Amino acid sequence: MSLNHLNEQDLHYLASLVDTARCSTGESALNTHSRDQSRHRPVRPEVVIWPQSTEEVVAILTYANERRLPVTGWGSGSSLEGNPIPVCGGIVLSFGYMNKILSVRPDDFQIDVQPGVVYKEMNHELRHSGLFFPPDPGAGATIGGMIANNASGTRTVRYGSTKDYVQRLTVVLADGEVIELGNRASKSSSGYDLLHLFVGSEGMLGIVTEATLRLAPIQEEFAWAVATFSSVEAASRTVLDVMRSGINPAAIELLAPECIEVINRCKGFDLTVSPTLFVEMHGASTVHLSEAMDLLQVLCGDQGGIDFRPGLDRAERDRLIEARHSLGEMIRQVHKDQHRIVIDVAVPISAYPEMIAFAREAAGEAAGTTAYIFGHAGDGNIHLVVGAKPDDALAWQAIDRLNQRMVMKALEMDGTATGEHGVGIGKRKFMPAEHGHSLAWMKKVKTLFDPNGILNPGKMFPD
Residues 378-417, interacting with a second copy (CB under 8 A)? 379-381, 410, 413-417
Which range, of 263-271, 331-339, 387-395, 444-452, touches a second copy by CB under 8 A? 444-452
Closest CA to 366 of 348, 340, 344, 337: 340
How far apart are the C-alpha atoms of 254 and 152, rounded to whole Å?
Answer: 16
How far apart are the C-alpha atoms of 36 and 79, rounded to whole Å?
Answer: 6
| Residue closer to a second copy (CB basis): 170 or 274 | 170
Q: Is 86 in the site for a second copy (CB under 8 A)?
A: no
Binding a second copy (rule: CB under 8 A), the pick from 190, 270, 314, 336 is: 190
| Residue closer to a second copy (CB basis): 336 or 444 | 444
The pattern of x and - marking residues 34 through 73 that bind a second copy according to CB under 8 A reads ----------------------------------------
Judge contact between 324 and 255, C-beta under 8 A. Answer: yes
- Closest separation in Å from C-beta 387 to a second copy: 22
Binding a second copy (rule: CB under 8 A), the pick from 7, 230, 285, 333 is: 285
Closest CA to 60 of 87, 95, 33, 26: 95
Binding a second copy (rule: CB under 8 A), the pick from 125, 177, 233, 392 is: 177
- Closest separation in Å from C-beta 343 to a second copy: 14
- Closest separation in Å from C-beta 132 to a second copy: 13
Report DSSP letters for 53-103, one per residue.
SHHHHHHHHHHHHHHT--EEEES-S--SS-TT--TT-SEEEEGGG---EEE
Binding a second copy (rule: CB under 8 A), the pick from 126, 434, 456, 459 is: 434
Q: Is 197 in the site for a second copy (CB under 8 A)?
A: yes
- Closest separation in Å from C-beta 130 to a second copy: 8
Could you say which residues in the range 214-243 bind a second copy, by CB under 8 A?
A: 217, 220, 240, 243
Q: Is 436 in the site for a second copy (CB under 8 A)?
A: yes
Q: Is 191 in the site for a second copy (CB under 8 A)?
A: yes
Judge contact between 174 and 452, C-beta under 8 A. Answer: yes
Could you say which residues in the range 153-172 bind a second copy, by CB under 8 A?
A: 156-157, 161, 163-164
CB contact burial 332-367 (16+ within 10 A = b; e otherwise): bebbeebbbbbbbbbbebebbbebbebbbebbeebe
- Closest separation in Å from C-beta 141 to a second copy: 13
Q: Is 123 in the site for a second copy (CB under 8 A)?
A: no
Judge contact between 286 and 221, C-beta under 8 A. Answer: yes
Cα 48 to Cα 11, 28, 53, 241, distances in angstroms: 10, 10, 15, 50
Q: Is 124 in the site for a second copy (CB under 8 A)?
A: no
Closest CA to 148 of 196, 216, 213: 196
Strand bridging mode 47-49 / 91-94: parallel
Q: Is 16 in the site for a second copy (CB under 8 A)?
A: no
Binding a second copy (rule: CB under 8 A), the pick from 181, 211, 342, 371 is: 181
| Residue closer to a second copy (CB basis): 287 or 367 | 287
Which range, of 46-54, 150-158, 320-328, 333-341, touches a second copy by CB under 8 A? 150-158
Strand partners, 217: 131
| Collapsed DSSP state (helix, strand, coil) of residue 291 | helix
Q: Is 10 in the site for a second copy (CB under 8 A)?
A: no
Binding a second copy (rule: CB under 8 A), the pick from 387, 419, 453, 457 is: 419
| Residue closer to a second copy (CB basis): 333 or 441 | 441
Cβ of 451: how many Cβ atoms within 10 Å?
Answer: 12
Q: Is 432 in the site for a second copy (CB under 8 A)?
A: no
CA angle, 161 as apex, 463 and 428 as ends, to 5°?
A: 10
Sheet holding 23-24, edge to edge: 23-24, 47-49, 91-94, 71-74
| Residue closer to a second copy (CB basis): 67 or 421 | 421
How far apart are the C-alpha atoms of 235 and 227, rounded to whole Å?
Answer: 8
One-letter amino acid identity for 103?
A: S
- Closest separation in Å from C-beta 49 to a second copy: 24
Residues in contact with a second copy, counted by CB under 8 A, come to a total of 89
Integer-rounded Cα radius of gyration of the chain: 22
Binding a second copy (rule: CB under 8 A), the pick from 34, 38, 65, 150 is: 150
Which range, of 22-30, 103-111, 222-230, 254-262, touches a second copy by CB under 8 A? 103-111
Could you say which residues in the range 340-379 bind a second copy, by CB under 8 A?
A: 346-350, 379
| Residue closer to a second copy (CB basis): 217 or 301 | 217
Q: Is 463 in the site for a second copy (CB under 8 A)?
A: no
How far apart are the C-alpha atoms of 165 and 103, rounded to whole Å?
Answer: 16
Give the DSSP letter of residue 22: G
| Residue closer to a second copy (CB basis): 201 or 209 | 201
